[in-house]
């Protein structure tokens, strides 16, 4: 399928899709870490607040996502699957406190 977009528009769209995919992976992984995240909303987000999601990226997650994407973008016929292997929290019966463990691994499958 040929694109009717101008070269600059296509470049901008590809950039948007890339950042959306990378930020989506960050949101999915961080949502499963079991840690509370508080961020302030902004009526005029900066370049680092794509999609009004002002969460700090975890460098290891970004690295693995870029490696899995291998220069390709998700799109029609090219889906992105985030597969996460988690260790469950261990509860100490004596103190009744939870210990959250970070994901053992994160696999991105295209």
Higher pLDDT, 55 or 107: 55
Residue pointed to by tokens 């029609």: 76
- Mean pLDDT of the region 9-36: 87
Domains (range + CATH), the chain: 7-109 (3.30.900.10)
For 42-60, what is each residue's pLDDT tens digit? 677 666 666 667 788 899 9
Is the pLDDT at 79 greater than 50? The verdict is yes
pTM of the model: 0.63
């Amino acid at each position: 399928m040929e694109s009717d977009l101008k070269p600059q528009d296509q470049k901008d769209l590809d950039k948007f899709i890339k950042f959306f995919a990378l930020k989506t992976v960050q949101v999915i992984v961080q949502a499963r870490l079991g840690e509370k995240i508080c961020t302030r909303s902004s009526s005029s987000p900066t370049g680092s607040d794509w999609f009004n999601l002002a969460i700090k990226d975890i460098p290891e997650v970004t690295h693995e996502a870029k490696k899995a994407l291998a220069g390709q973008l998700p799109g029609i016929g090219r889906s992105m699957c985030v597969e996460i292997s988690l260790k469950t929290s261990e509860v100490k019966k004596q103190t009744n406190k939870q210990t959250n463990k970070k994901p053992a691994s994160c696999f991105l499958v295209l």
